[in-house]
Chains A and B, each alone.
Chain A
Amino acid sequence: MVDLKSIGPLGKAEPFSQTIGTIQIMENPSYALASVACTAGKEATLQAAAVRTFGFSMPDVGQSARNENGDWGAFWTGPGQFMVEAPMDHHEDISAHLITTFQGVAAITEQTGGWIRFDVEGEDCIEWLHRLCAVDTGKLLAGSAVRTVIEHLGVFVICDAPQTRFRIYGASSSAHSLLHALTSAAHSIARG
């Protein structure tokens, strides 16, 4: 057992959670992340390995995927590039695991500490996103994954349920600035 204790990007042991108006913003620290970059010409082998290990093919351009019991998920980040996530509890060693899975067909880079993930839910999600990013989020279908800018910060916006449920991944070092943007936009649309 490691002697050191990990803390989240916001500097707290407990993950952030707040409901503002109808918008519920929850930091989700329970996923380990790694990026997968496919070697040119090995796409088929990569897909076969993905189906075998995760139960799904790597997602298409601008898409995300997740297996049934939710222990593996992935989203498209660029041509031939993906982010893969798995529960921290049993996959903190996600990179080592993927290096074995994709031996010889992809380059794996550990990303767990590099990101903060917020799960956001609420009926006013689109109004809220209107105040954050230039993407036409009202048109996103379930599974859409978009990399864009919020408050000058690079983020991934992933739609889990159209209009109402989204994930936002931002760089861990600027987690405080991102959170400020998310909460102040929620305050500005909260009714009453």
Chain B
Amino acid sequence: MIIEHPLLGPRDAQEFTYLGDASMIDRPDWQADDAADLFYKWLYLRDNPAGEHRELWFHEQGDRSWLVVTRNTVTHEISKVELARDVARQAGRSR
């Protein structure tokens, strides 16, 4: 596999490690009234699409960036690669 790193260009998959669904970025608010329920759903309930899937990859043997890779789980085609930090900020995460 080849992942098109947003900063570094095409890089071999052997440089990366995989985490899973990019929804891991959306960590719930610990102070919410239903925090326990929110955390449970966030951690355990995942879609398993046959098709486009946004997932987290870590460029461990590279620049140590976490990436959000949009990959088709049927064809393995990668249609988009973003820096996870940017995705997190767009989702309103900050401090």
Are any A and B Cβ atoms less than 8 Å apart in their complex? yes
- Chain A contacts of B12 at CB under 8 A? 134-135, 148
Chain A interface: which size bin?
10 to 19
Q: A134-B12, A148-B15, A149-B14 are in contact. Are A79 and B7 (CB under 8 A)?
A: yes
The reply on A138 being an interface residue by CB < 8 A is: no
B-side interface residues, number (CB < 8 Å): 13
Q: Is the interface of B mostly helix, strand, loop or mixed?
A: loop
Tell me whether A62 and B65 are in contact (CB under 8 A). no
Does A70 make an interface contact (CB < 8 A)?
A: no
Determine whether A91 belongs to the interface, using a CB cutoff of 8 Å to chain B: no
Whole-angstrom CA separation of A78 from B15 in the bound complex: 14
Q: Are A78 and B63 CB-contacts (below 8 A) given A61-B7, A62-B8, A148-B15?
A: yes
For B79, what are the chain A residues with a Cβ–Cβ distance below 8 Å? none
Residue on B with the closest CB to A150?
A: B61
Which residues of chain A from 127 to 175 have any CB-CB distance to chain B below 8 Å in the complex?
Answer: 134-135, 146-149, 154
Q: Is A77 on the interface with B (CB-CB < 8 A)?
A: yes
10 sampled A-B residue pairs with Cβ under 8 A = A62-B7, A79-B63, A79-B83, A148-B11, A148-B15, A148-B62, A149-B14, A149-B61, A154-B60, A154-B61
Q: Chain A: residues with CB nearer than 8 A to chain B? A: 61-62, 77-79, 81, 134-135, 146-149, 154
